[in-house]
Amino acid sequence: MSRYALITGASSGIGLALAEALARRGRNLILVARQRDALESIACELTQRFSVEVLFRACDLSQPLRLSGLLHELEESALHIDLLVNNAGIGTAGAYVTQDWACERQLIELNVLALARLCHAIGTVMAGQGSGQILNVASVAGFQPGPGMSNYYASKAYVLHFSEGLREELKAYGVGVSVLCPGPTRSGFFRRANMDVNALQGSKLMMNAEEVALITVRALAKNRAIIIPGWRNRLLAFCPRLAPRWLVRRISARLNRHFGKPV
């Protein structure tokens, strides 16, 4: 029976780069995102370049009913998913109470609830089979509070802590859980979040999605718990542990102060 890696948010950025890196290693894929046309052409291209089977499903994961439909379809098709990559995520920037509630709610539905639900549904099957791997995409933002992007940072703290807990729980079932915590990465993320990233443009922190994906697939092969691409990002994740929380909050607020301004 063919095995598949299911990747959410595979139509652009880190998800697309992960899809390519996994296809290069001979993995069959199921790509999920909202943009059907983009998924279709990516599936075609990856199939031709790497001779792997690439399926795709267009689904708005922030809509619980659509997600139910996707899960039902996956169950019916009995496709064997041995790697789940929960990558789809969005950001919002600016003081929380000045933001549109619908956007903040969508962030929680996608970054937190959809990820938790996919881990539950597919993780249950993997645990029953006694094998499989889950990769959840958090961020270096998950290591500290983020005034100016409070909801986003908190959603990534959830992903980080949830994944670490799940890793220990699922060890006994033969299922590996890793969490990817990228730093700033070139992708459509900032534009979608309506963020001004001029401050980051020349920054040495900024990485390419392809670099992030390469580091990630290598670390996945070693079943690493927390994957932080780049030594600068590892430092960024470690520093908040050394300072008092009041200081971490203020530094984070200062670093985020530009992002709330629309581009």
Q: Does residue 11 touch ligand NAP according to CB under 6 A?
A: yes
Neighbours of 172 (CB within 10 A): 9
Q: Report in angstroms how near the CB of residue 119 gets to ligand NAP at its nearest.
A: 14
3-state secondary structure of 4: strand
Q: Does residue 61 touch ligand NAP according to CB under 6 A?
A: yes
CA distance 131 to 115: 19
CA distance 149 to 250: 13
Q: Which of 166, 194, 193, 188 is nearest to 178 (CA)?
A: 166
Q: Does residue 185 touch ligand NAP according to CB under 6 A?
A: yes
Give the range of 54-62, 127-135, 165-173, 220-228 binding ligand NAP by CB under 6 A: 54-62
Question: Applying CB under 6 A, which of residues 151, 189, 226, 237 lies at the interface with ligand NAP?
Answer: 189
Alpha-carbon dihedral sign for residues 164, 170, 174, 175? negative
Q: Which of 203, 217, 197 is nearest to 93 (CA)?
A: 197
Residue nearer to ligand NAP on the CB measure, 84 or 88: 88
Give the range of 72-80, 93-101, 179-187, 251-259 binding ligand NAP by CB under 6 A: 179-187
Footprint of ligand NAP on residues 71-110 (CB under 6 A)?
Answer: 87-90, 110
Q: Does residue 160 touch ligand NAP according to CB under 6 A?
A: no
Residue nearer to ligand NAP on the CB measure, 60 or 173: 60
Question: Applying CB under 6 A, which of residues 40, 53, 60, 196 lies at the interface with ligand NAP?
Answer: 60
Question: Applying CB under 6 A, which of residues 2, 35, 198, 203 lies at the interface with ligand NAP?
Answer: 35
Question: Applying CB under 6 A, which of residues 92, 133, 139, 178 lies at the interface with ligand NAP?
Answer: 139
Reply yes or no on whether 4 is catalytic.
Answer: no
Give the range of 13-21, 44-52, 96-104, 251-259 binding ligand NAP by CB under 6 A: 13-21
3-state secondary structure of 64: helix
Write the CB contacts of 236 (distance below 8 Å, at least 6 apart in sequence).
140, 143, 183, 205
Q: Report in angstroms how near the CB of residue 245 gets to ligand NAP at its nearest.
A: 22
Are the beta carbons of 85 and 5 closer than 8 angstroms?
yes
Q: Does residue 34 touch ligand NAP according to CB under 6 A?
A: yes
Give the pair of three-digit tokens for residue 238.
Answer: 């470690």
Backbone angles phi, psi at 84, to 5 degrees: -110, 125
Give the pair of three-digit tokens for residue 27.
Answer: 């993995």
Candidate list 152, 153, 158, 173, residue with the active-site label: 152
Q: Report in angstroms how near the CB of residue 204 gets to ligand NAP at its nearest.
A: 14
Distance (Å) of CA 212 to CA 110, 162, 184, 216, 260: 21, 22, 10, 6, 25
Q: Does residue 166 touch ligand NAP according to CB under 6 A?
A: no
Binding site for ligand NAP (CB under 6 A): 8-15, 33-35, 38, 60-62, 87-90, 110, 137, 139, 182, 184-185, 187-189, 192
Show which residues are catalytic. 152
